[in-house]
Amino acid sequence: MPLIVTDFSWTQTDSTVYISVPLKGATAGKVDILSTDEYIKVHYPPYLFEAFLFEPVDDVKSTARVGNGAAVISLPKRTNKVWEHLMLATNDKEKKKEIRERALLKYQEKLSLESKSKAEKQHADKKYALETMMKLEQEERESIQKMKDTEREKTTAELAAWQLRQKQKSEEEAQQKLQNKVKAVTEKQEKGCSDGGKVKLNPRGHSAGNSRKKQADLPAPRHAGNIQVTFTPRVFPTALRESRVAEEEEWLQKQAESRRAVNADVEELKDLKEEQRNPDWLKDKGDKCFVTGDYLGAVNAYSLAIRLNRKIPALFSNRSACHLKLRNLHKAIEDSSQALDLLTPPVAANAAARVRAHVRRGSAFCQLQLYTEGLQDYQAALKIDPHSDALQADAQRLRDIIQGTAD
């Protein structure tokens, strides 16, 4: 049974009631105060103060201060008048119980509304902060993209100007050579005429004697024939029962065919230089752009190489890595799948390339929150390289996410 506090004091004005409850040595952290429009409770074990108010008060504007050994409660009145008593003059326990339960229910509703309002405010603040952050990141990306576009346009203009200068220089050199050749022929003809006509010139400006002498010095034509070439047979260290000679020979044959499958007859590619029509040169160019962080430049280089030759799997795999960096996730999945289609049959020579393609496609699936599809690719990579600690850790993390046990 709590000890009922009776040595409280109260005062009033026409608009406010003030109640002072002694705390009897209790600290502020142990004082529980409940206030509604018709009921006040101050509980600090083992003491309890209850007040069933004489008139309703405005519980929204009510305040309580704890300090100096007392709890002072300020209760604004709903009607400006002087109360005859602080509490109801009744001993009806049922009525008091009803008031107490009603007050407790109102207090719980008030706490629920405050909690809901606080949660909504936190959600709104978090949403505003997230929108602000996304806006700043978007502005930063646009600024970086604008700088890249400006630099790319500048580089393109400089390259076009350099190509024009080179073309003009080549034309001037060709013109100069032609003029020098004409001048030399003219001088030789004039020299022949000055010798009194002793030297007979042919239509090209050369003497007939010299022409016959040069013809006599020419070697006889070579005889046609065939040269037989034999190659050392390739030896595979694999045991005969596990041998994949046929698959490896097929892979080598596909690699050789892919190197010969260059499509240099594309109309818009004819103006490029010879090295710029070489898929290997373009692949190296794309690799250098990727290392320096110019992912768009790398994509352009790989795409041009793919237009020239669509049978080199490294071009699709490397472009997939660029699309991952640029968050073009569906394109990354498409390029990785194309690379895996070209990396057949599966042999030891293309094992590392297949692992990279599976990991890149799996990473794109995971970033799209398709964790099951991503796990399948990581498991496929693990079958190729089962001793990779990094692949095992990534696969286990995906299993935890799918099972809902991830931290």
For 138-152, the pLDDT digits (tens) are 988 898 999 999 998
Average pLDDT over residues 103-125: 85
159 in a structural domain = no
Residue 20 main-chain phi, psi, to 5 deg = -115, 120
Using the predicted structure, report yes or no on whether residue 123 has a pLDDT greater than 80: yes
Closest CA to 52 of 18, 82, 95, 11: 95
Specify the residue for token string 């580089």: 155
The b/e string for 147-184 (b: 16+ C-beta within 10 A; e otherwise) is eeeeeeeeeeeeeeeeeeeeeeeeeeeeeeeeeeeeee
Q: Which domain-ending residue is among 31, 65, 93?
A: 93
Chain mean pLDDT for the chain:
82
C-alpha neighbours within 13 Å on the C-beta side of residue 276: 9
DSSP β-bridge partners for residue 22: 70
61 in a structural domain = yes
71 in a structural domain = yes
pLDDT band with cut points at 50, 70 and 90 for residue 51: confident
Calpha distance 369→406 (Å, rounded): 14
Using the predicted structure, report yes or no on whether residue 350 has a pLDDT greater than 80: yes
Calpha distance 195→176 (Å, rounded): 29
Number of domains in the chain: 2
Q: Which domain-ending residue is among 93, 108, 138?
A: 93
Report the pLDDT value the prediction gives residue 42, as an integer from 0 to 100: 86
For 108-212, strand residue ranges (E) read none
Q: Which domain holds residue 299?
A: 273-403
pLDDT band with cut points at 50, 70 and 90 for residue 225: low
Calpha distance 49→105 (Å, rounded): 19
Of 172-176, 196-200, 250-254, 312-316, which gets the smallest average pLDDT? 196-200
Using the predicted structure, report yes or no on whether residue 199 has a pLDDT greater than 60: no
Residues 35, 40, 44, CA angle at the centre, nearest 5°? Answer: 95
Using the predicted structure, report yes or no on whether residue 357 has a pLDDT greater than 90: yes
DSSP β-bridge partners for residue 207: 201
Calpha distance 222→214 (Å, rounded): 18
DSSP H or E run through 58: none
361 in a structural domain = yes
CATH number of residue 51's parent domain? 2.60.40.790
Number of helices and strands (H, E) in the chain?
A: 10, 8
Q: How far is CA 28 from CA 33, 40, 63, in A?
A: 11, 17, 15
CATH number of residue 288's parent domain? 1.25.40.10
Calpha distance 364→327 (Å, rounded): 8
Q: What share of the chain is helix, strand, coil (3-state, %, to 5)?
A: 60, 10, 30
Share of the chain above pLDDT 70, in %: 83
46 in a structural domain = yes
Span 24-45, pLDDT tens digits: 777 777 888 888 888 888 888 8
175 in a structural domain = no
pLDDT band with cut points at 50, 70 and 90 for residue 344: confident
329 in a structural domain = yes
Residue 226 main-chain phi, psi, to 5 deg = -115, 145
191 in a structural domain = no
Closest CA to 44 of 60, 25, 18, 68: 25
Residues 389, 390, 392, CA angle at the centre, nearest 5°? Answer: 65
